[in-house]
Amino acid sequence: MLKKYVKIIFTLFVLILLNTSQVSAESQPKNDLRTKFLNNNTVIMEVNIRSFNSEDIDGDGFITEKIGEVRGNFLNAIDRLDEIKNLGINTLHVLPITPVGKLKALGTAGSLYAASDFQSINPELIDKNSNLTPEEQVKKFIEEAHKRNIRVIVDVPACASYDLYLQRPDLFVQQTSGEPVMPADWTDVRLLATGTEEKVDVNVYSLYKDFVKYMINLGFDGIRADVAHCKTALFWKELIDFSRSKDPEFLWIAESSDSWHDAISPQAVFTSYDKLLTAGFDGYYGSFFNLKDWKTSKELYKQLSFTLDDNKKYSDRKSTIGSFTTHDEVSPILLKGQALSDMMIWLSATLPTNTYFPDGFQTGDDYVYKMGNKLAPESNTDDDTYFVHRGKIDIFNLSRKPGGNNKMLRNDVLLANNVKQSLLPVLNEGTFTPLKTGNQKVFAYSFSNNIKRVVTIGNLDFENPIKTTVKLPKFNPKHQNVLPIKISSMPEVKNGKILVNLAPGEIVVLIIHELL
């Protein structure tokens, strides 16, 4: 009976939220993405256009066009926009759309981050049967996204391909031997020169400035800067200032984190995340991707407190991506099963950060490709294998559409995205309070104002159930009502404590209302 009651509440709650948050599909407002992001009001899905809506007929995980399989492109990507909107996603992060190098490559199509040109569109992302130009196809996709109130940001690669080095060696850092620098173990790219904090490299800056101008003209609403810390603060400040002169709402997100401290190469600069924010970036990646390794609640509390305090120290507003998982992270399904994905979903919904996940996360994709790392029958690069990072969304080949059949996760993504919209006022302006629990493996926290308190409780032990209590200060059942949002069984609340029985990795969300 209780489960039926909780299910009814869930359904009614979602319907109310959906009815109150719909925006006319006919309206195409001016860019407001920066404002939305700074108010933690973006739900971002990371997508790879060349696999976004591809058709893999034989099920090997990769696309062979000569047998009738279809790679993803900007035009067929439009067919998935209603699905995206209906999940409560309002922003797409499109992985790099620049042409890709074919020499010293990784994978049969080459890494999306091995840019061989910053002033044209990757031909693999274009429908060759359309009469529209590549630019017109990109604009069509963005216009259709905007019609659905979905904003679109684009990735700018940090380095460039060996192919571009052969054409423009003046753009690259060179060793004393004259050879270009290969950053870390990224064998397919070479390190671009960016200058110093006193003077930017004119050639590379011009390359990026033209790229930014190109993207703004195409209609993109912002940029995510790949490995932003490998360029100087001065370089970014001049580039961001330029973009803001064109569009004050143009969003800049730095791929950098408070837990990253090392340069990608001895020859590369390292600009810390806080200096990037001071230079003009609107946000960065919070270190929430460490969730998979946290053993106690103290680790979560420490990260939350740091993130909340950190965004307040800048003269202008900043925000954070709740980057629990990205294309650089192994699928949570592979790591710890559905429970880890579910925990990420509801932490994202109950924190004052911007929600973020890669395509396929919402349906439990494990990103395992049947022919991954095996010999390919043909290749468009000098790599003859289907090179992949196991458990990570493929960025090296023409590959299958991200998939999975986990309807429960999909429903939770939908519910959580809509719940967050109703909770934003209390998350953004309310008081954060870590709550005392009877077990260090159980975290509990609340955000509260004078009307509402959001309580989130989770079990960081993904192997064992835990029965414990959570201290709930100032709870008075005569004046407050408990509404379960995410829960398997109704907890007992008495004497200022919540008694919970948590399954392995289970997360619980409650809303406590003041009775007026």
- With cut-offs at 50, 70 and 90, classify the pLDDT of residue 35: very high
User: Are 140 and 158 in the same domain?
Assistant: yes
pLDDT at 235 over 90: yes
What is the pLDDT at residue 4?
40
92 closest CA partner among 47, 146, 28: 47
User: Are 199 and 214 in the same domain?
Assistant: yes
Retrieve residue 251's tokens: 């969003």
Q: Which of 113-117, 143-147, 221-225, 447-451 has the lowest mean pLDDT?
A: 447-451
Q: Residue 205 sits in a domain of what CATH number? A: 3.20.20.80
What is the pLDDT at residue 127?
98
pLDDT at 6 over 70: no
Helix ranges (H only) for 230-322 are 233-246, 273-279, 297-310
User: Are 462 and 313 in the same domain?
Assistant: no
User: Are 453 and 309 in the same domain?
Assistant: no
pLDDT at 176 over 50: yes
| β-bridge mates for residue 442, sequence order | 459
Q: What is the mean pLDDT of residues 482-500?
A: 81
What is the pLDDT at residue 478?
61
What is the pLDDT at residue 67?
95
Quick one: how far is CA 439 from the chain centroid? Answer: 31
Q: Which residue has the higher pLDDT, 281 or 477?
A: 281
CA distance 425 to 232: 36
Q: Is 494 exposed, middle or buried (0-12, 13-18, 19+ CB in 10 A)?
A: exposed
The last residue of a domain, from among 398, 428, 458: 428
Retrieve residue 64's tokens: 């062979």
CA distance 281 to 266: 25
Neighbours of 179 (CB within 10 A): 11
User: Are 449 and 369 in the same domain?
Assistant: no
Instruction: Tell me which residue range forms the domain holding 498.
Output: 430-514
The last residue of a domain, from among 404, 428, 452: 428
User: Are 80 and 146 in the same domain?
Assistant: yes
pLDDT at 104 over 50: yes
Degrees to nearest 5, angle at CA 464 with 463 and 467: 150
160 closest CA partner among 98, 83, 252: 98
Q: Which of 152-161, 216-225, 257-266 has the lowest mean pLDDT?
A: 257-266
371 closest CA partner among 399, 333, 334: 399
What is the pLDDT at residue 387?
98
pLDDT at 21 over 60: no
Spatial neighbors of 195 by CB under 8 A, at least 6 apart, are 201, 202, 204, 205, 232, 234, 235
Q: What is the mean pLDDT of residues 82-92?
A: 97
- With cut-offs at 50, 70 and 90, classify the pLDDT of residue 516: low
DSSP structure class, residue 115: B
List pLDDT tens digits, range 200-225.
999 999 999 999 999 999 999 999 99
For the chain, what is the largest distance between any 2 Cα atoms, rounded to a whole number of angstroms?
Answer: 77
> What angle, 0 to 180 degrees and rounded to 10, lies between the N-to-C axes of helices 407-429 and 2-21?
70
Strands 283-285 and 319-322: parallel
CB 69 within 8 A of CB 57: yes
What is the pLDDT at residue 24?
42
User: Are 362 and 375 in the same domain?
Assistant: yes
- With cut-offs at 50, 70 and 90, classify the pLDDT of residue 22: very low
User: Are 406 and 505 in the same domain?
Assistant: no
User: Are 154 and 176 in the same domain?
Assistant: yes
List pLDDT tens digits, range 349-400.
999 999 999 999 999 999 999 999 999 999 999 999 999 999 999 999 999 9
- With cut-offs at 50, 70 and 90, classify the pLDDT of residue 494: confident
Count up the domains in the chain and report the number.
Answer: 2
What is the pLDDT at residue 192?
97
What is the pLDDT at residue 14?
46
CB 145 within 8 A of CB 151: yes
Q: Residue 454 sits in a domain of what CATH number? A: 2.60.40.1180
What is the pLDDT at residue 2?
41
Give percent of the chain with pLDDT exceeding 90: 85
- The backbone region for 88, taken as left when phi is positive above 0, alpha when psi lies in -120 to 50, beta otherwise, is left
What is the pLDDT at residue 29?
62
Spatial neighbors of 16 by CB under 8 A, at least 6 apart, are none
pLDDT at 23 over 60: no
User: Are 404 and 464 in the same domain?
Assistant: no
User: Are 369 and 304 in the same domain?
Assistant: yes
60 closest CA partner among 386, 367, 368, 370: 370
What is the pLDDT at residue 312?
87
> For the CA atoms of 260, 266, 267, 273, what is the dihedral angle to 10 degrees?
10
Note the pTM of the prediction, 2 decimals: 0.93
Tally of residues, the chain: 516
The last residue of a domain, from among 428, 444, 464: 428
- Mean of pLDDT over the chain: 92
Q: Helix, strand, coil % (nearest 5) of the chain?
A: 35, 20, 45
User: Are 448 and 337 in the same domain?
Assistant: no
93 closest CA partner among 120, 116, 112: 112
